[in-house]
């Protein structure tokens, strides 16, 4: 189950040749994670709230993905963004994260998410486009309720939402080194600082931790042992979405009974492959499995 509380409508303008192209998709962290899970063969149910004209379009597009969708009709409008990539870079034309979810919207979404999460082997808690759209307390409650009743929770969050999910308890936490530095959990991007941060996150409520670190090896803390995670180097087309692909692949491996080391290797491979593609949360499973064999896990002494 993927909790994607406020998915967005994404509109991208590209021009690979003489004629411009317009691409319209559902987007947001949860959408990209669900797409990667499905691409790796998982049965995925996505829980989301949608509203307004934008929400109608998002709901229609989500149902074209290879996932089950459970939507709650929210009172206010869904978010969106328009990006212009005609010159090769990503320029934001306009964007809106969406209105804050109201109390009735949250109640309905929570009940729907809890029911689907209890049916699932693994639940992924993904973040909103802006921190004020969904209260952090929702993440604490979901992590606690799902974990208490046997669902393994994977989270990829930052800021107040990260603190909340740690308070609720989470089986596996994926986070970037930039987010840890911004949140004051890590002082810098050194091995020593990030390893200490991983231990702190486990002490605060995470079972295992994977810290991504841009183009440098990541840090994983698995069953009390810290590792350097050496990801395969590939040519970058689009760096966005790599972290979401990592957490989705980790969740998929855990859902089918794989161990933590296999989950981290597969997650690192999925993140590495995603940067070679324009589509976020995409990648052929055969390429991911081949790359996973090339991911290095070196214990940190």
Q: Which domain holds residue 41?
A: 2-299
Determine the pLDDT at residue 232. 72
Greater model confidence, 144 or 87:
144
At residue 215 the predicted structure's pLDDT band, cuts being 50, 70 and 90, is: confident
Are 79 and 94 within 8 A, CB to CB?
A: no
What pLDDT sits at residue 293?
86
Q: How confident is the prediction for the chain on average, in pLDDT?
A: 91
At 5-60, the pLDDT tens digits run 999 999 999 998 899 999 999 999 999 999 999 999 999 999 999 999 999 999 99
Q: Which two structure tokens, joined as six digits, stand for 203?
A: 């002490």
Report which of 60, 30, 64 is spatially closest to residue 46, judged by C-alpha positions.
30
Q: Is residue 67 a contact partner of residue 45, using CB atoms and an 8 Å limit?
A: yes
**Residue 240, pLDDT score:** 55
If you average pLDDT over residues 62-88, what whole number do you get? 92
Taking the mean position of all CA atoms in its chain, how far away is CA 239? 14
Mean pLDDT for 150-164 is 95
> Which CATH number does the domain housing residue 71 bear?
3.40.1190.20
Query: What pLDDT does residue 281 have?
Result: 44
Strands 79-84 and 91-96: antiparallel
In this predicted structure, the answer to whether residue 170 has a pLDDT above a threshold of 50 is yes
Extract the tokens encoding 148.
Answer: 């208490």
Task: Give the tens place of pLDDT for each residue, 91-146.
Answer: 999 999 998 999 999 999 999 999 999 999 999 999 998 888 999 999 999 999 99
Q: How many structural domains are present in the chain?
A: 1
Structure tokens at 200: 């702190």
Average pLDDT over residues 266-290: 72
- Split at pLDDT 50, 70, 90, the class of 286 is confident
């Amino acid at each position: 189950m993927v909790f994607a509380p406020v998915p967005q409508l994404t509109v991208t303008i590209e021009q690979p040749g003489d004629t411009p192209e317009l691409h319209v998709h559902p987007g947001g962290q949860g959408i990209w994670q669900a797409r990667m899970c499905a691409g790796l063969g998982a049965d995925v149910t996505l829980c989301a709230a949608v509203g307004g004209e934008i929400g109608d379009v998002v709901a229609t597009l989500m149902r074209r993905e290879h996932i089950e969708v459970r939507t709650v009709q929210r009172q206010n409008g869904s978010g969106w963004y328009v990006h212009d990539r005609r010159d090769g870079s990503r320029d934001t034309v306009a964007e809106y994260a969406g209105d804050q979810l109201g109390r009735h919207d949250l109640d309905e979404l929570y009940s729907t998410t809890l029911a689907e999460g209890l049916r699932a082997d693994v639940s992924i808690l993904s973040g909103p486009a802006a921190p004020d759209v969904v209260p952090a307390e929702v993440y604490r409650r979901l992590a606690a309720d799902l974990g208490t009743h046997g669902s393994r929770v994977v989270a990829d969050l930052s800021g107040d939402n990260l603190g909340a999910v740690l308070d609720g308890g989470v089986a596996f936490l994926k986070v970037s080194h930039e987010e840890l530095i911004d949140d004051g959990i890590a002082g810098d991007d050194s091995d020593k600082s990030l390893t200490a941060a991983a231990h702190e996150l486990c002490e605060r409520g995470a079972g295992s931790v994977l810290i991504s670190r841009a183009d440098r090896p990541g840090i994983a803390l698995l069953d009390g042992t810290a590792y350097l995670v050496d990801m395969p180097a590939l040519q970058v087309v689009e760096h966005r979405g790599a972290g979401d692909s990592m957490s989705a692949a980790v969740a998929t491996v855990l859902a089918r009974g794989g161990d933590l080391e296999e989950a981290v290797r597969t997650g690192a491979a999925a993140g590495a492959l995603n940067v070679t593609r324009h589509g976020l949360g995409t990648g052929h499973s055969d390429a991911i499995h081949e790359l996973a064999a090339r991911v290095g896990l070196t214990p940190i002494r």
